[in-house]
Each structure stands twice: as C-alpha cells, then as structure tokens.
Amino acid sequence: MNNITFNKFDFIGLASGAALLTAFIYALAQGLVL
C-alpha cells in the first residue's frame, strides 16, 4: 500500500518536473528565435 502511494507521487513529481523542463526549453527557444 505504501509503495503504491509512493510510486504514484513519484510519477506525479516526474510528470510535473518534465512539464516544467519542457516549458523552460520552449521559452528559451522562443527567446533565441526572437
């Protein structure tokens, strides 16, 4: 039970981290293009 909860939170953290990284790279690319 504990392990499943941890894995779920780990996945959410990984997903939000990837989203932040993607947004940062996109903003950086937009800045370079402009």
pLDDT tens-digit readout, 15-24: 999 999 999 9
Report the range of poorest mean pLDDT among 3-7, 9-13, 21-25: 3-7
Q: Where are the domains of the chain?
A: 1-34
- How far apart (Å, rounded) are the C-alpha atoms in residues 25 and 33? 12
Position 9 pLDDT exceeds 90: no
Residue with tokens 């937009």: 30
Higher-pLDDT residue of 8, 2: 8
What integer is the mean pLDDT of 3-30?
88
* 9's tokens: 């939170």
- How far apart (Å, rounded) are the C-alpha atoms in residues 24 and 31? 11
The H or E element spanning position 2 is helix 2-33
Mean predicted lDDT score pLDDT of the chain: 85
- How far apart (Å, rounded) are the C-alpha atoms in residues 26 and 32? 10
* 4's tokens: 């499943």
